[in-house]
Structure formats: structure tokens, C-alpha cells
Structure 1
């Protein structure tokens, strides 16, 4: 409650100090009590004008003819304030009392003081303008917070959609692998199903987690590679250098899988010998994944448009690691190279 009141109280306390203490101190003589009472009334008038402006006048600007109505109202407020304070000044006999204090011995001649007119107009204008500026800032902050919430909700929705697309895509390919294996080696297909169950358990557990330990993700990748070894023909030279990590670093789950999966999807043939190389490295907080596989003519088209997996993973990286990752892929000498670096700090 106090925290909410402080932003409102502080400016008014400051204004009260200026009107009731600092301004009187500028005079070389002790001012009459009526002068202080005059500024006390002026202070409360300015307070009323500010909150009337903020709570009742500014909200009508957006209505039909609202701006015209608002301008008329503030002109009326300024004029009414001048006349009201003029009445207070006359009732308290401020001018004559001030004249006696500042010019003792000189006869007082009653006349209008144009300075007082501009003094009131300037104060009222400052109060009205302050209200407008603060309301604009408040509205801008509210819109910015609303936009941030919308962006966060949009990102969450996009991530949910992308993950929903990637996981079925991965498990569909893996089940195809096990199905093919079941025709040649029943025992190995059973082992593969066991590994798949571990991977599915991991995928289900991470579903509602934003990040997992890097060690867990590396374990998932190792299980996947062990599973894929079962389907590799003898002509494939498969090399994997997957580091063992012991770190508190975290990573978005299943963000590496698609790049590895593509090696097996596009880099295998039974017609000639081929090579697949997968390497990982960790330098401080920067994690690196490198893959290399052969390019075959009948798979070039599918490699160029690697489908829903790569596209969605890149979108996830854009959302989750903006400016903190690099992805490079190239074709060279009949091979396809891919390098992904993510700063996990």
C-alpha cells in the first residue's frame, strides 16, 4: 500500500515545500500569515485540478469530439482558477498586506497585478501538462507490458507447436528403423525397443521443462546413436566422439537431435562405402556439435529441403537462443558438413 502511495505523495510533498517554504524564503521579510494561507489554498486547488484532469478529463479525449471538449475544459479551468484565487486574494487582502511588508511607509494604491494572473496560469498549465505526460508514460508502459506478454505467449505457442511437430517426426523415423531391424535380427530389435522406451521416457519428462542438464541431453543423444547403430549396413563407417560432461550447464531438450538424425536419413546408401562423423565439444560455456555425412544424388533434393525437422529446430533456436547461436552448413567434395554452436551461459 505504501509503495503504491509513494509515487503520488512525493511530487506533492515537493510542490508543498516549494510553495509553502522555499518561495516565502525568497522574500527578505517575514510574510503575513494570510500569504501562507493563500498558497495553502492554491496547493489544494492544484491538487484537485491534477486528479480531475487525470481521472475525468483525459479519458474523454478518445471519444467523439473529445479533444475539442478537453481543450475547452482546460481553458475553463485556467480561467476559473485565476478568478478563484483572485477572490481569495481579495478576501485575505493579500496585496495590501504584502505592500506593507515590502514597502513600509509607502501609501498603498489598489490595482490589479498582472504577475499574479500569469503566476496562476503557469502553475495550472504545469499541473495539467504533468498529468498528460504522466498518463502518456503510464499508457506506454501498460502497452509495452501487454506487448511483452503477447510476445511471450506467442513464443510459447510457437515452441509448443514446433515441439509437437518434431517429436512425432523423430519417433516415426525411429520406429521405421526398429521395424526394419525386426526382419533381420529379433534380439537386436528388442534391445532397440528398450532403448527407444528410455528415449520416450526422457522426451515425456522434458515436455514441460524449459531446459535440462547438458549431461541428460548428451545421454539422450548417446542412446539415439546406439539405437541407430543397429540399422547401419556394414559399408557405413560410423565415427562418434561424444564428450562426457560433468557440468551445471543447461540446454533446451532435443535441440540437437534433428541435426544428428539427418546424417542417418540422408547420408546412408547400400551401393558404396560411406562415412558418418558426429562430434561434440564444450569450450567454457560454448557447446559445439559437428556432423559430416556423404551426399548421394538420389537424396540431394531431400537434403536441400530437409523438411519439418531442421526448419522447426532453427525456429526454436531463433526463439530460445537469439544472438547466442551459430549454424553453418555446406556441401563440399560430395560431403555435407554441419556445425552448430550454442552459448549456454
Structure 2
């Protein structure tokens, strides 16, 4: 911040240096009338600077931005009027020779005086308007930056909430699966608990960043699919295909697991044959994920899962990949199909 203030001060000094140098640059190599230069340029320029900084540093914040517009206008009219009179006073008392040199027709009565006053008011209003423009722009930039920071904080808070919401959801769904194995196959239940421990380690310690390598997500999904296979009978066939090379693609964690959970929850039947097909491909920077499963609606007495998985996913996609994803769901001829495409950069 200190460096920024120093840069701003230097910028202001350079701008005024350029402005005060204009007459010297324009008349380079010519004789300068120093009295005319002082009276008609340097003194007005000094007054312009005073008007500018009075407004820029004090009056705009104190009155204009505090909705005291009438007071702000009146104060500036008084200041401008004072400087016009001061300029005339200085010219009359210290630069009388310039007045004598004015052509006879340049009298200040009637319309000519009104025109003179109008031009003077406009010239002194210029630094006022310029200070308002700069101050308003700075305020707008600051407001936008604060708004962006607030939006970003809100986004991160909501994402963190969704992530914390997903973890227990995933954990309880997995526990339900293990519970179903305890009586049927205790050895499988033990193996499942061990596998679940590895999955939870990834959930807790490796997904707390905004993005993770796609390769880690694929490894996590493979382990989860293997975990789910332990409780399946030979009536359910699992087909899965993942890309071998991901070219260093980074992606938000835990986007696909809800879809896989959903497929195992609704695509498995105890007495009917079924297929769960999972396919992921990479086309350039687009990750294309498709999953299909036979649809066996849950019974009313089935309390597995909380139903928040897909809703959670859709919210996260909207926050993380606005206008950079497509999410399509379709139920046709008893087969539920979901396609998710994500543009990763």
C-alpha cells in the first residue's frame, strides 16, 4: 500500500509538471512574455490545482459522496468565484501593463463581460469535473474489488459447505453397504472397511484444495468401484473405462463420485440382471464422463443415502464451472443415462 501511494504521488507530480511545461514546449525557440505567462497561465493553473485537490482530498468525500450535493455545489461556486476575483485582483494590481495593452474594443461591459465570466466559470469548473471523474472512478473500482472479494469469499464458503456436506453423505452410504455385508460375508465386510479407510483418507486429506490431478480422482473412483463390487452378485455387470493418460489435467475434486454412487444405488437389483457402464474420455481440455445403469427405483422403506448427492453436484458445477460444463440426465427404456462434460481451462 505504501508503494502504491508513492506511485500515485509521483504520477500526480508528473502530470502537473507536464501541464506547467506546456507553454515552454509550445514556444520553444521564441521570446516569452513572462508577465503574460504568469498572469494568464501559471496563476490560473495554480488555482486549478487548488480546486482539484480541495475536491479530490476533502470536498467530494465529505459532501458529494455523503449526499450533500447542494452544499457541495454551493461551496465550489464560492471557491470558483473567489479565484476569479483573485485573478482579476492580481492582474489589476501586479500586471497593470497587460490591461493597458488590451485593444480598446476589449471592454468588459454588457455581453462581452458575460461571455468572459462564462468562459472563466467553465475553465475553473474543468478541474472540479476532472476531480469528480477520477474520484468516482476510484470509488467504483474499489467497490467492484470489494464486491469481487465478497463474492469470492461467499463462493469459497459455499463450496466448503458443499464439500463438508458430501463427505458424511459418502461415508454413510458406504457404511450402509458394509452393514449389508456383515451377516452375508464377514470377511468381505472386513476387507470393505479397510478399503473405506483408504477412500476416507483421500476424502479428508487430499481434497481440501481447489483442484486435484485428474489421475488421483480416477484412482479414487476405481477404488470405490472395487469397493462396491464386493457386495454385488453375478447378476450385476460392471463396465468401466478411464483414460490412461490425463496430460496433467487438474479438476475440482469429488465431482464424479456422486454419479457413480447414484448408479450403484439405483442400478442394482437382487433378482434382475443389470449393467452399470462407466466411461470417461478426454478430448483436448474437455473431460467427458458418461454413466449408464438400469433403473430400479428405491422402495419407500429403503433409507440408504440421503438424496443430496446429485443436488450437491449440480450446485458445485454451477459455482466452479459456470458456462464451462454440460450436465444431461435421461431415463429411457428403463436405462438411466448421465453425461457430464467439463471444460477444465
* Alignment TM-score, normalising by the size of structure 2: 0.88
Partner of 2:192: 192
Aligned length: 333
Partner of 1:170: 170
Do 1:259 and 1:291's aligned partners in 2 also have CA atoms closer than 8 Å? yes
Partner of 2:37: 36
Do 2:169 and 2:306's aligned partners in 1 also have CA atoms closer than 8 Å? no
Secondary structure at the aligned position of 1:307 is classed as coil
Which residue of the other structure, out of 63, 80, 84, is the alignment partner of 1:60?
A: 63
* Structure 1 residue 4, shift from structure 2 partner: 2.3
Structure 1 consecutive aligned stretches of length 4 or more whose deviation exceeds 6 Å: none
Partner of 1:47: 49
Which residue of the other structure, out of 5, 11, 26, is the alignment partner of 2:9?
A: 5
* Alignment TM-score, normalising by the size of structure 1: 0.88
Partner of 1:225: 225
Taking a change above 3 Å as real, the CA distance of residues 93 and 233 of structure 1, as seen in their structure-2 partners, is same
* Structure 1 residue 123, shift from structure 2 partner: 1.9
Do 2:92 and 2:99's aligned partners in 1 also have CA atoms closer than 8 Å? no
Partner of 1:86: 88
Taking a change above 3 Å as real, the CA distance of residues 234 and 263 of structure 1, as seen in their structure-2 partners, is same
How many angstroms apart in 2 are the aligned matches of 1:134 and 1:164?
Answer: 45
Secondary structure at the aligned position of 1:331 is classed as strand
How many angstroms apart in 2 are the aligned matches of 1:97 and 1:252?
Answer: 75
How many angstroms apart in 2 are the aligned matches of 1:111 and 1:258?
Answer: 87
Taking a change above 3 Å as real, the CA distance of residues 331 and 110 of structure 1, as seen in their structure-2 partners, is closer
Deviations 1:192-245 (A, max 9, x none): 222111111111122421111111110000010010000112211221122323
Taking a change above 3 Å as real, the CA distance of residues 320 and 192 of structure 1, as seen in their structure-2 partners, is same
Deviations 1:286-336 (A, max 9, x none): 111111111225569x9xx98311111111111111111111110111110
Matches within 5 A, 1:124-139: 124-139=124-139
Matches within 5 A, 1:253-264: 253-264=253-264
Taking a change above 3 Å as real, the CA distance of residues 218 and 91 of structure 1, as seen in their structure-2 partners, is same
* Structure 1 residue 189, shift from structure 2 partner: 1.9
Deviations 1:140-162 (A, max 9, x none): 11111111011101101110111
* Structure 1 residue 61, shift from structure 2 partner: 2.7
Partner of 1:152: 152
